[in-house]
Structure formats: C-alpha cells, structure tokens
Amino acid sequence: MIDNDPDGDKLIYELSKLSEVAYQRRRKDAARHLSVRLEILDKLIRQARAQAEEDATALPHWNAEPWDSEVNGVRLLDGIEKVFRHYIIMPKGAGEALALWTLHAWTADAGEISPFLVLVSPTKRCGKTSVLIVLLYLTPRSELASNISSSALFRYIEGVRPTLLIDEADSFVKDNEEMRGVLNSGHTKAAAYVIRNVEVNGEHKPQRFSTWAPKAIATIRALADTLEDRAVVITLQRKSKMAKVERLRRRDSDEFAILRRRAARWAADNFDKLTDPDPAIPDALNDRAADNWRPLLAIADLAGGAWTRRARDAACLLSGEGHDSTSVNVELLADIRKAFGDLDVIRSADLVEKLVSDPERPWTEWRHGRPLTQKQLGGLLRPFCVASETVSAPGFKDAKGYRRAHFEEAWAAYCPGQNTSPSPEGTSEASKRRSADEMGATSDFSSVAGSGGDTSKNGKLAYSHAGSDASTLRRPENGGKVSLATFSPDGDPWHIPPALDRRPAAPQTNGRAPALGPVGDTLDDFK
C-alpha cells in the first residue's frame, strides 16, 4: 500500500483492523509517521478494509494462481472438454461449447459481447446442475445460486464481478420481466448497466450498477426468447440406463484446481489478443448467433489445431440458421405454413382448427390449458403485419380468414426452406433428432428443414400435416402436391458436419465410460 515500505503496509493493515474510535485516536500520529495527508490515510484504510472484507467472503476455489509456464490452448480445451464428458452425458457440440465458454469466462472483459450459456432440459434430472457444478470449479470467481432477485443480481455483479451460475431459473426468471431486462442488459458491455436510486447521506440519488459478467443459466423448458436469443443453448436429456458416467463429487478437486490455474495463465497470456476479435463466422449463423459465437470462435482460433474446425461445427449444430424458429411466434408461422398446404385462402376458424389438432404442438393448451383462439392467433400474427380479412372461396363466402400472399414475406424471412405441403396421408409426423446422450440408439435428422436440426430445444419438433377440407381453396398449378423437403448430405447447409464425429467412441466395456484417471495422466504436458 505504501510503495516499497513493508513497515508502512504493516501499519496500514494494523490500523484497518481497529474499530473506528480506536482508529480516530491514532489517525494523526499514523499520518505523520507515514508522511501522508490525513485524507490519503483514510483512503488507504478504506481500501484495506474493503480488501479484508472481500477476502473474508471469497470462496476457496476463487484462488487460482496462474500456471508457472506457458499453457498450450489445444491441450487445455481438450482437458476441459474431457472433464465435462467424464461426468455428464451431453449432445454433440456441447463439449466444445462448454470448453470454449469456460475460457470465455476467464477472458470476458477483453471483448464486447458475453453470450449467456443456457442449459435446457425437458424435465428434472438431466444433468443441468452437474454442468453448473463443473463450471463452478473451472471458471473465475464463480458463484452458484438457485435463486436471486433482480436487485441482488446487479448489486452482486457490481460488488464481486463473478462468473454467475443460475440454477432453477424456470422457477423465477421466465415470468419476471425486470429480471429478464437486467439479464439481457449484460449481454453487451456498452449496455451492461442499470440505474437505481440509492440513498446517500439521507438523499436519494441515481447510481449506475454494472451487469457485465459471464452468466450460465439452467432451466427446465425454455426461457424467454430474448434471453435465448443472446445465448449459446445446450439441451440436455436424461441419460438412459445403459449410459454410464462417473459420479460427480460435488466439491473442489486437484483436477479442477489444475485446470483453473492453466486457464488463468492462458487467459493472461492471450487477453490482449481477444480485445477486438474478428474470427471467420460460418454462413449458417444469423447476426445474433454470430455475435454470441464470435468470442468463442476467437478463443478456438487462438488455440488452433482441430479446435478451429470443431468450434465452427459446434456453432452450426447448436446455433445454426433456423434455430430461431423455436421462438413461439416463428413456430406459429411454420405451423401456419403447413396448415395452408396448397391453399391460397383459409378461414380463421379452419386455420385454428388445424393448429390445435396436433396434441404435440403448444396451440392445443395455449393459455391455462385451453386451445388457441382466433383472437389470440390475431395477436400473435400482429408483429408480422399479418391480419385477418374477409375472404371467399369455394365452399364459403365472406368469412374472416387469411390469404397465403400475406404470409409469403414473413415465411421467407423466418422460415426459409420449410415444407409447404401436407404429408400424403394428412397425418401428424414427428420430427426425428439425434439422441442427446450419444450412447444409446441415434437417428440422423430426417425432418423438414423448418423443424429439424434443432437440438437447442425440446418438444417442439412435431408439426401437423393435417389435410385441407372443401372449405378452402387449393392451388391447381402443381396438382395440390408439393414435394417434402428433407435434409440431404449433398450441399444442404443444415447437414451436420462430419467433424463432430471424429472423436473416438466411448468404450462399451461393462457399459462404463473410461475413467479420467489421476490428474497427471490426463492434464500434464499442457505446456
């Protein structure tokens, strides 16, 4: 505290431990002894007390002395990914995303965007908390909370600057607009502030609080669209009885401590190189997804090796174009497109009937267990500038309905490449997707382009292909049939890159994954 004066530092430390009364008695003599002004001494004492308070509240795993030699980025990312896969069954691309996001937590202050890491599952016991616990011991100044208020959120970030890990978000985030606003603000550094009135000397004055911190959020089912739009989303599924991983002992360990130290050293050595990242972005990522992945891809490029390709494969798989179709409004557009089939005009009543006919779609129990109504449909379509009007067609006259032409622009923007015809049998056909645990039976995507390839959400992959009835107008030019667009390995931008399958399959002996072994067996030679 006093430059090159160990005795001065010792005196400051002793004074900071005194009560305020005792300090005031020694204050003038101490200032003369140190040859500093009284206001400077008071400032040094405040700093010493604040540091002591911070040290007292610091969690043990926050202490991460950087590794004493240069760290190889490829080996570090490999080691982090291996730890996640050792304890948790994950979908393809998740291991890469988690490893890259872990290093992003160490380097977030270098960049301008900090994507949320959102862990979603359809139900409990799918591994979300286990992922957060591993992150707890691998990221800097990490704090795991199962509930937090919006005011505590920004005050804690302002005071501690943590890596904030939020569990059970489905219980308090989704319907809390203030909380969502505070979280959303922390996505971009320039906007990562909220302003609140704070009492100062009896007066209320506005004060700015930072919301800038790496954040991982675990939830059952989806969060608000605005949150997931700012996130790298990983969907976890409950592991099958045949899938075995090592039991995660929910405490710190040598393997975690070594990875923390190596991450701290790598971050220190590469921090300046991440201040203005401009990595090559896959065409499959939309603008917001590109923002989310830019800091992660920059980390992969700095590490080099196979990670430059693996990171981009993971980005395309987890966040590729079309994943925004899980937004409820865009889901509705996609289902309306299928309901139209070959029709140019459809009555509102007939459209709603088609939408609610598929029990696997959200429209069946849209509000309080009741199906979607025509009025609610109109409200959902209003943001797309689509409204009902009086329409006529063979079989009905002057009824409220919708014209296909009014949807074309919205479909082109939000549902590119989706199937536009009913299935030949006119029945509901659920989409197929890969098994999330990668260890049981798997199936490649075979759904229509608008509903397939989305491993970032659950329960939203089945679409109604109900046939049309006589009260609607068919388009005659193609005989009432449109070919079903399916995924193809040849040139389809949604095709899953083979690079994600390059890792060796887990040994099946006794149905168990390989043990990680002692720390030295897997984490040495990072230099």
Whether residues 84 and 107 fall in one domain? yes
pLDDT at 511 over 70: no
Whole-number pLDDT of residue 417: 56
Mean pLDDT computed over 433-446: 36
- 315 and 223 in a common domain: yes
Q: How many domains does the chain have?
A: 3
According to DSSP, the β-strands at 389-393 and 396-403 are: antiparallel
Dihedral pair phi/psi, residue 335, rounded to 5°:
-70, -35
- The reply to whether 312 and 335 lie within a common domain is no
* Same domain as 278, residue 169: yes
480, burial (CB in 10 Å: exposed 0-12, middle 13-18, buried 19+): middle
Average per-residue pLDDT for the chain: 80
Q: Are 410 and 472 in contact (CB under 8 A)?
A: no
Among 3-12, 164-173, 317-326, top mean pLDDT goes to 164-173
Mean pLDDT across 431-454: 36
pTM of the model: 0.61
Identify whether residues 516 and 419 lie together within a single domain.
no
The pLDDT of residue 152: 96
Exposure string over 94-119, b if 16+ CB within 10 A, otherwise e: bbbbbbbbbbbbbbbebbbbbbbbbb
Res. 411: pLDDT tops 50: yes
On whether both 194 and 234 belong to a single domain, the answer is yes
Both 439 and 515 in a single domain?
Answer: no
Distance between CA atoms of residues 432 and 453, nearest Å? 9
Shared domain for 348 and 281, answered yes or no, is no
Would 134 be classed as within a structural domain?
A: yes
Question: Is residue 524 pLDDT above 60, yes or no?
Answer: no
Would you state the pLDDT for residue 445? Answer: 31
pLDDT of residue 111: 95
The answer to whether residues 97 and 215 belong to one domain is: yes
Tell me if 455 is assigned to some domain: no
309, 404: one domain: no
Q: How far apart are CA 25 and CA 236, in angstroms?
A: 61
- Beta-bridge mates of residue 402: 346
Same domain, 270 and 402: no
One-letter amino acid of 264: A
- Residue 141 pLDDT greater than 70, yes or no: yes
Measured over all CA atoms, what is the biggest interatomic distance in the chain, rounded to whole angstroms? 100
Whether residue 370 lies inside any domain: the answer is yes
- Domain with 51, as residue range(s), is 6-57
Give me the amino acid identity at 339.
A
For the residues 473-488, what does the mean pLDDT come to?
Answer: 36
| Residue 201, domain CATH | 3.40.50
Domain membership of residue 66 (yes or no) is no
Q: Is 184 a member of any domain?
A: yes
- Whether residue 452 is contained in a domain is answered as no
Give pLDDT tens digits for 359-408. 888 898 887 678 999 999 998 888 788 999 999 988 888 999 999 999 99
- pLDDT tens per residue across span 67-107: 999 999 999 999 999 999 999 999 899 999 999 999 999 99
- Among 22-26, 109-113, 243-247, 441-445, which is the least confidently predicted range? 441-445
* Whether residue 213 sits in one domain with residue 145: yes
Task: Calculate the alpha carbon distances from 433 to 430, 457, 462 in Å.
Answer: 10, 11, 11
Residue 193 pLDDT exceeds 50: yes
Whether 247 shows a pLDDT value over 50: the answer reads: yes
> 128-137, 435-444, 513-522 — which is least confidently predicted?
435-444
Instruction: Flag whether 475 is in a domain.
Output: yes
Please indicate, yes or no, if residue 121 is contained in any of the structural domains.
yes
